[in-house]
Chains A and B, each alone.
Chain A
Amino acid sequence: MAHEHHEAGDKQFFGHGEVHDGQADHGLAHTMPLPLLFGILGALLVLTVVTVSVTSIDLGQQGNLIVAMVIATIKAGLVITFFMHLRWDRIFHLILFLTSVLFVILFLSMTITDRGEYERDIESFRNAQQQAEKK
């Protein structure tokens, strides 16, 4: 059941996995082999168990969040690559998707930096407010 699509090489840039072994190609797009589908589901379920059980271990202040996000990203990667066929799809669709991810990262990081920028002002405002309430 070896589905070696790696040799397809640069043709994958234009998608459709036109080099294949028997069941891989059915005209319009690549067909997912069943063992791969079930393998991915198994991996996703195992990662879910891991992410739940790792919560009970203390990994420092941000450690747990980072681990949880790394696991979630691995899971997301599996879903995108295999369930969503991006492994065999046109590279343009991957570029589209990564562009959206890039913009999400930009969005989040800019907001966070901006928020940090005014941290001090917010603090002094809050302290002043508390002072005023005390009087």
Chain B
Amino acid sequence: MSEPTPEAAAPAKASSAPPPAAAAAGHDHGHGDGHHGHSQYPHLAHHFDTPQQQFDAGKLGIWLFLLTEVLFFAGLFCAYTVYRAIRPEVFVYAHYYLDTTMGAINTCVLLLSSLTAAWAVRNAQLGQHSLLKLNIAITIACACTFMVVKYFEYSHKVHDGLLWGPNFAPKVPVWELESFKKKHPEAAEYAHKLAEHSKQKGAAATGAVPATAAAGPAVPLATGSQAVIPPLASGSAAPIPSPVAHVDAPPTGSSPAPAASAAPAGAASAAAPAAAAPAALAAAAAPAANTAPPALAPLPKPSRAALEPLLKAGLVGEKAEQREGISRPRNAHVFFGIYFFMTGLHGLHVLIGIGIFIWMFVKAQKGVFGPNYFGPIDYSALYWHLVDLIWIYLFPLLYLIH
């Protein structure tokens, strides 16, 4: 534990404030006056003249790196922006699945770690060795806390089937979520009724009531309820793409079911994904089906307050025939693709940050940092602040959608 650079040996520039005249001389960064031998600065690389030059070169380097990082993330922010512009309802729909509390906790944790990182730079500059180590340790601890919270968030997502692409199969429909119920109690209630209603109607229309009842539970809840939703054959000439026009097509990619009209004939095709065999059965049961529907009273007209949140989340459409059923907006899985990519890349940066700060801790343990050599701490902290910066934007964009 040797103190490499005694304070007294620091160049005149550091030890005392230069007279105003010298400061005003200005544009000299210390190349002119202080050509001390390198032996005085054990951490000065041989290709630099002064610690100042070394520090400035490193700082320029880290800023250039941060610049590329900003552009790197910009690609993902661009994907987000474009998709949100195209399909705002998907974002409204999906954000109910995110845990704002966890996101807010992580925001605070990262902000705190940013403080300790900035403080660590100060400690290094002032040669406060034990405080430096403490602040680096707190930064690492905060970064780990962030990752632990992220782990819980991710495992909930995996558990609830909230994944990207064809893996997207939410176990719980959005209107059954606590976050949705809390925000829009009426809408949640109405959506529940609507889902039940269309389920019954679908069951009745397919004719083979016991058969579908038996087949129903085999499919996961969400897909099950969707399968029986009367296909939302939307007004074809809709000037705006109807957000709810289609239920997500199964990953097989066959031409989507909604082609069928809502007429009884469509009932058979609604059941089509199941198998070809029951088709004849359904046709045979058709007369029976025709007698069943009258028993089903139409739902009362929902209040605007109940309907608004459903419209905004793309669960029902603007047109009357799009309100007979309820389904998640088309391509909702893209949100989770964006979510996992953005938070995952950010999380990777946090992991790298943990590695960097462990390295800095080891260096600090050796006591190498002081007024003439604190560049590595400064650069690490700058990187860490950028990671924080990206989260500052990610948090409202992903978690705080209105």
Residues of A114-129 at the interface with B, using a CB-CB cut-off of 8 Å, are: 115, 123, 126-127
Question: Are A64 and B108 neighbours in the complex by a CB distance under 8 Å?
Answer: no
Give CA–CA (A89, B385) in the complex, Å: 15
User: Could you mark each residue 36-76 of chain B with 1 if its beta carbon is under 8 Å from any beta carbon of chain A, else 0?
Assistant: 00000000000000011001100110011011101100100
User: Could you mark each residue 377-388 of chain B with 1 if its beta carbon is under 8 Å from any beta carbon of chain A, else 0?
Assistant: 010011001101
Question: Are B396 and A68 neighbours in the complex by a CB distance under 8 Å?
Answer: yes
Partner of B126, one of A19, A26, A89, A134: A26
Give CA–CA (A59, B397) in the complex, Å: 16
Partner of B402, one of A34, A38, A55: A55
Residues of B50-107 at the interface with A, using a CB-CB cut-off of 8 Å, are: 51-52, 55-56, 59-60, 63-64, 66-68, 70-71, 74, 77-78, 81-82, 85-86, 100, 104, 107
- Nearest to A19 among chain B residues (CB) is B23
Judge if B348 is at the interface, Cβ distance under 8 Å. no
* Chain B: number of interface residues, binned into ranges: 35 or more
Question: Are B17 and A100 neighbours in the complex by a CB distance under 8 Å?
Answer: no
User: Could you mark each residue 98-111 of chain A with 1 if its beta carbon is under 8 Å from any beta carbon of chain B, else 0?
Assistant: 01110110011001
Give CA–CA (A37, B388) in the complex, Å: 15
Give CA–CA (A87, B364) in the complex, Å: 26
Question: With contacts A34-B119, A83-B115, A107-B78 known, is A69 near B396, CB below 8 A?
Answer: yes
Question: Are A20 and B81 neighbours in the complex by a CB distance under 8 Å?
Answer: no
Supply 22 A–B pairs (Cβ within 8 Å), ascending by A: A11-B24, A11-B26, A18-B23, A27-B125, A37-B119, A51-B396, A52-B104, A72-B395, A76-B389, A82-B118, A83-B118, A96-B63, A96-B67, A101-B70, A104-B70, A104-B71, A107-B74, A108-B77, A115-B86, A130-B234, A131-B236, A133-B258
Contact surface of B with A, Cβ cutoff 8 Å: 10-11, 13-14, 17-18, 20, 23-24, 26-27, 29, 51-52, 55-56, 59-60, 63-64, 66-68, 70-71, 74, 77-78, 81-82, 85-86, 100, 104, 107-108, 111-112, 114-115, 117-119, 121-122, 125-126, 233-234, 236-241, 245, 255-256, 258-259, 261, 371-372, 374-375, 378, 381-382, 385-386, 388-389, 392-393, 395-397, 400-402
